[in-house]
Amino acid sequence: DQEIWHSDSLKSNGKSSLLTEEASVNIYPIMLRVSVTRGTNALTVKISRKDNSAENFKRANKILASESEPVHIWDFSGRTTFILMNEWNRMPQDPRSSDQEMPLEIQFYDISEPPANGAAGRKDELALTMGSSALSNGGIMDMDLDSSGGICKQVGSGLIGLDNLGNTCFMNSAVQCLAHTSKLVDYFLGDYQKEINTQNPLGMKGELAYSFGDLVRKLWAIDGTSFSPRQFKAKLARFAPQFSGFNQHDSQELLAFLLDGLHEDLNRVKCKPYAEAKDSDGRPDEEVADEYWGNHLARNDSIIVDTCQGQYKSTLVCPLCKKVSITFDPFMYLSLPLPSTTMRTMTVTVFSTDGSIGPSPYTVSIPKSGDFKTLINALSNACSLRDDERLLVAEVYNSSLIRYLEDPSDDISLIRDGDKLVAYRLPKDSEGAAVVVFKSERMESSISSFGRKSWKNFGTPLVSNLPDTIDGRTIYNLLLKALTPFREPKDDVLDADQITGKSSSVNETSDIDMSSDAAECSSMNTNAGEDDMTTEGGMLFFLNTERFPNQRMKIEMDQTITLSNLQKRLIVSVSWQDNGLKQYNLDPLDSLPEVYKTVLFTRRPQETCSLYACLEAFIKEEPLGPEDMWYCPGCKEHRQASKKLDLWRLPEILIIHLKRFSYSRYTKNKLDTYVDFPIHDLDLSSYIRDRSGQMSNHYQLYAVSNHYGSMGGGHYTAYVYNDGKKKWYDFDDRCVSGLENEDSIKTSAAYVLFYRRVHGDTSLVDTETTTIVES
């Protein structure tokens, strides 16, 4: 019935005040805020260290009783609970230097009658029987007592949104999925603070767990509304700088960090023992798996391990000595590839160099993780390449070959969908020999700004293999042979003299030595202009080099051309006249298809696959990449072993990450494949290798993290099933809305799937309210 004064002990050294057990002085009055939770028989008391008057306490009395009758509250030693012990440590040591409110909620027995023990004599005041050391730890706890004396926390529906702080939808989506994981909700609404591990060097001194626990409690508050998770965001930025600022991030990456951080903050193991990993050495899988799992639990024991961690079997086989290595590793989530999009469709146009057949486009499918060698092998099979042939693959741009795919180890991602590729069939025995590349050009019909017509490249270059001896007539004959498929049948080709003409006075009889750089620089300054095209022939030949593309020299029929030993390609420009163009149909050279034709305002056909197909791709045996070579203990060398993964034991909460985002050194891409995933019964019985376990392998979907949009931006939301409402809800930042149709949660935006193990009945649990009871 009266406001009491709390006595803190402090000792002053003139500079700061420290809480001790000596020199007791009265500091500030304590304000009691008393409230009743309607429909219950319990009270909540909040104590503040903020300076105020006794009038506030009288107002609290009026709230409780309309007739302003005195309120009797009893408390006794040993019955007060404090939570969030570290909160006080972050407050100023001098209580007079801070005016902020520090609510402290105290548990007490039902007010209908006083307790039967010795504390009953003090009915007219609140007896706080805690010392200064207890109060110095401070804290906050929303706590009620039911009539039986058990601690019961009444929680809300969980339908509370999170404000977007600026590109934080990725965080909101992941948090909502975790905050509706029933086992984690039960845990963080309970007395989880007793498991905080502040000594773990791999953890965050418990601060991440405290912050996430506070976030969960706010999301499950009674009659709560959306709120701003600024404090939680600040903790993330502090311990994971990659999430600082306001850039868009990956919800799965945040989820991985958060689960790992919560595990370390809540790890029950204070001193981790060392355990050496042993190979299987022919022992039974069950024995080896239990050994690995036991070693893991000896160092890792938390609610996250209990709930979210499983184990898979990894098998490596040496391709030479056939050594088999089997290990069992824990996993927090499964990252599954999308099999329908692990392959890439590419179109390449194949040319013959002997004129036997015309150009023909071939479409092949190769793994997106493949290299140039993979593409060339697939293309060789598609065009029925003979054993005595090889392919020279190049990229065409502006009627020139700008890049040759000669390094077989280069990543296939270097080729874009809009590129144009050609492949030339060459004799296999000529590998390493030089080739001639014919670039076609013709006179433009319009007059340029300089008042004269100019030459312009057109079509796709043609390629032929060069013999040991080269002259102008050899060049001419090689071109005629390559042009055979394009010749108009009604006209006969002109002879060499008619085609090349004899009127040019430039270098009429001299030889061309391409082995000298000096000759390259000086001789090529003689350019053939429009005046050289006075003959009635169909074309003229000019010599170019890759080093000096803007310089060229006219080639005569009797001129000898000498290449340097290191020169691999001879670039020849073919200047066509009108009467020469009439003899050939060169239109196919102008209609080269792209690697993958993309049309504006149209979408590729929707690719679909099932979640089981993703699992099959995950456990499929594959060779390791050249950058992931395995050190074989049998060969004592690194080998490109084959690797296979199998699921061994599954967790209570199974998190499945669909690998929609692909990265390489040069490109990044998002896959919009529609994955058909089960909602009510994900049956993994056929995927589990451990047949000795008695746990159910059936799972039920309860949350989905979605990503809409492209790789560089987009938006994250979450679909969550609410047990109390028996309904799916869409959590879009602060907006929460119900979904009428359950199947609407299946979209191509599904990114992270959250499943919980189903024991017995596979129907969703029908629960009207969520209540956590502690004895």
Structural contact between residues 180 and 702, judged by C-beta atoms closer than 8 angstroms? yes
Of residues 303 and 81, more confidence is placed in 303
pLDDT of residue 226: 85
The position carrying tokens 């969908």 is: 417
| Rounded Cα–Cα distance for residues 678 and 181 (Å) | 18
Task: Pinpoint the alpha helices (H) of 315-409.
Answer: 372-382
In 3D, which of 256, 328, 333 has the Cα closest to residue 296?
Answer: 328
Q: According to the model, what pLDDT value does residue 429 have?
A: 84
Euclidean distance between CA atoms 764 and 180, whole angstroms: 14
Q: What are phi and psi of 328, to 5 degrees?
A: -125, 120
**Six token digits for residue 250:** 């990956």
The tokens describing 37, both together, are: 């939770």
- Backbone angles phi and psi of 424, in degrees to 5: -110, 130
Cα 236–141–90 angle (5° rounding)? 50
Can 321 be counted among the known catalytic residues? no
Per-domain residue ranges of the chain: 343-446+454-487+537-591, 612-644+653-757
Label each residue of 663-731 as H, E or C: ECCCCEEECCCEEECCCCCEECHHHECCCCCCCCCEEEEEEEEEEECCCCCCEEEEEEEECCCCEEEEE
- How far is residue 683 CA from its own chain's centroid? 26
Average pLDDT over residues 316-328: 89
Burial of 598 (0-12, 13-18, 19+ CB in 10 A): exposed
Distance CA 72, CA 124 (A): 6
Q: What percent of the chain has pLDDT over 90?
A: 36
pLDDT at res. 770: 35
pLDDT band at residue 629 using 50, 70 and 90 as cut-offs: confident
Q: Residue 756: pLDDT above 60?
A: yes
> What local confidence, expressed as pLDDT, does residue 563 receive?
79
770: left (phi over 0), alpha (psi -120 to 50) or beta: beta
Rounded to whole angstroms, how far apart are CA atoms 70 and 2?
Answer: 9
Q: How confident is the model at residue 546 (pLDDT cuts 50, 70, 90)?
A: low
pLDDT at residue 665 in the model: 57
543 or 669: whose pLDDT is higher? 543
Count Cβ atoms below 10 Å from residue 244 Cβ, excluding itself.
Answer: 12
pLDDT value for 472: 84
Nearest residue to 233 via CA among 219, 217, 216, 215: 215
What pLDDT was estimated at residue 460? 93
Q: What is the pLDDT of residue 329?
A: 93
**What CATH code would you report for 612-644+653-757?**
3.90.70.10
CA distance 286 to 692: 8
Would you state the pLDDT for residue 439? 92
Checking if the pLDDT of 77 tops 60, the result is no
Q: Which residues pair with 704 in a beta bridge?
A: 719, 753
Residue 147: half-sphere exposure toward Cβ, Cα within 13 Å? 5
Handedness of CA 199, 201, 206, 207 (dihedral sign): positive
Rounded Cα distance, 499 and 489, in Å: 18
Q: Encode pLDDT of 341-363 as tens digits.
A: 667 889 999 999 988 899 999 99
H or E segment to which residue 234 belongs: helix 230-239
Please determine, for residue 444, whether its predicted confidence score (pLDDT) is greater than 80: no
Architecture category of domain 343-446+454-487+537-591 in CATH: Roll (3.10)
Equal fold, 343-446+454-487+537-591 vs 612-644+653-757: no
Distance CA 257, CA 271 (A): 22
- Tell me: pLDDT of 567 over 60: yes
- Tens digit of each residue's pLDDT (9 = 90 or more) over 493-518: 444 444 444 433 333 444 555 544 33
Check residue 44 and give its pLDDT: 45
Catalytic residue among 169, 177, 308, 609: 169
- 658 φ/ψ angles, rounded to the nearest 5 degrees: -90, 120
Q: For the segment 516-539, what is each residue's pLDDT rounded down to a tens digit?
A: 433 333 333 334 444 443 333 478
Q: Residue 195 to residues 153, 187, 675: CA-CA distances in angstroms?
A: 19, 11, 39
Is the distance from CB of 596 to CB of 346 less than 8 angstroms?
Answer: yes
Q: Per-residue pLDDT for 54 more than 80?
A: no
Q: Is the pLDDT of residue 591 over 90?
A: no
Asked whether 466 and 408 are in contact (CB, 8 A), the reply is no
430 contacts: CB under 8 Å, gap ≥ 6: 465
- pLDDT tier at 698, thresholds 50, 70, 90: very high
Tell me the DSSP string of 234-267: HHHHHH-GGG-TT----HHHHHHHHHHHHHHHT-
DSSP state, residue 734: T
The share of the chain scoring above pLDDT 70, in percent, equals 67
Rounded (10°) angle between helices 207-219 and 251-265: 110
Q: How far apart are CA 662 and CA 337, in angstroms?
A: 10
Q: How far is 31 from 50, CA to CA, in rounded Å?
A: 7
pLDDT at 423 over 90: yes
| Mean pLDDT in residue range 426-435 | 86
Residues 600-608 have a mean pLDDT of: 60
309 touches 183 (CB < 8 A): no
What pLDDT is stored for residue 538 in this prediction? 75
Average pLDDT on 56-70 reads 47
Q: At what angle do helices 169-178 and 230-239 cross, to 10 degrees?
A: 100
What 3-state class would DSSP assign to 548? Answer: coil
Q: Which residue has the higher pLDDT, 499 or 392?
A: 392
Which of 468, 556, 575 is closest to 508 using CA atoms?
Answer: 556
Burial of 119 (0-12, 13-18, 19+ CB in 10 A): middle
CA distance 226 to 161: 4
Query: What's the rounded Cα separation, in Å, for the pair 362 and 383?
Result: 7
Q: List the single range of 4-18, 86-100, 292-306, 666-680 with lowest mean pLDDT.
A: 4-18
pLDDT of residue 360: 94
pLDDT, mean over the chain: 74
CA–CA distance, 770 with 775 (Å, rounded to integer): 17
pLDDT at residue 683 greater than cutoff 70: yes
Q: What is the mean pLDDT of residues 363-391?
A: 90
Dig out the tokens for 116 from the structure: 């039967």
Instruction: Tell me what pLDDT residue 103 has.
Output: 43
Query: Of 6, 72, 296, 715, which one is the catalytic site residue?
Result: 715
The alpha-helical segments, DSSP class H, found in 524-596 are: 578-581
Say whether pLDDT at 11 is over 60: no
Average pLDDT over residues 260-276: 91
pLDDT band at 20 (very low <50, low <70, confident <90, very high): very low
What pLDDT digit, counting tens, does each position of 208-250 carry? 999 999 999 999 987 677 889 999 999 988 998 888 888 888 8
Count of CB atoms situated within 10 Å of the CB of 142: 17
Question: Residue 318: which of 632, 626, 637, 636 has the closest Cα?
Answer: 632
102-149 pLDDT, tens digit per residue, is 443 333 333 333 333 333 333 333 333 222 222 222 222 333 333 222
Q: Compute the radius of gyration of the chain from its Cα atoms.
A: 39
Residue 560: strand pairing partners: 471
Residue 582 has pLDDT above 60, yes or no: yes
Task: For residues 219 and 200, give the distance between their C-alpha atoms in angstroms, rounded to a whole number.
Answer: 28
Query: Which helix (H) or strand (E) segment is 575 a member of?
Result: strand 569-576
Tell whether the model's pLDDT for residue 155 goes beyond 80.
no
Top mean pLDDT of 52-56, 245-249, 769-773 is at 245-249
- As beta bridge partners, residue 420 has 396
Residue 666: per-residue pLDDT: 55
The arithmetic mean of pLDDT across residues 739-748, rounded, is: 93
- pLDDT score recorded for residue 138: 29
pLDDT score, position 283? 86
**Helical spans, DSSP H, in 34-101:** 55-64, 86-89
CA atoms within 13 A on the CB side of 570: 32
Phi/psi region, residue 620 (left: phi>0; alpha: psi -120 to 50; beta: rest), is beta
What was the pLDDT predicted at 208?
Answer: 94
Question: pLDDT value at position 280?
Answer: 75
Q: Compute the residue count for the chain.
A: 775
Sequence-distant (≥ 6) Cβ neighbours of residue 653 within 8 angstroms: 181, 183, 307, 308, 754, 755, 756, 757
- Tell me phi and psi for residue 375, to 5 degrees: -65, -45
Neighbours of 364 (CB within 10 A): 20
Distance CA 484, CA 462 (A): 12
Structure-token match 């084959």, residue found: 642
Q: Which of 127-141, 154-168, 654-668 has the highest mean pLDDT?
A: 154-168
First to last CA, the chain: 30
169 as an active site residue: the answer is: yes
The token pair that represents 592 in the structure block:
């080269």
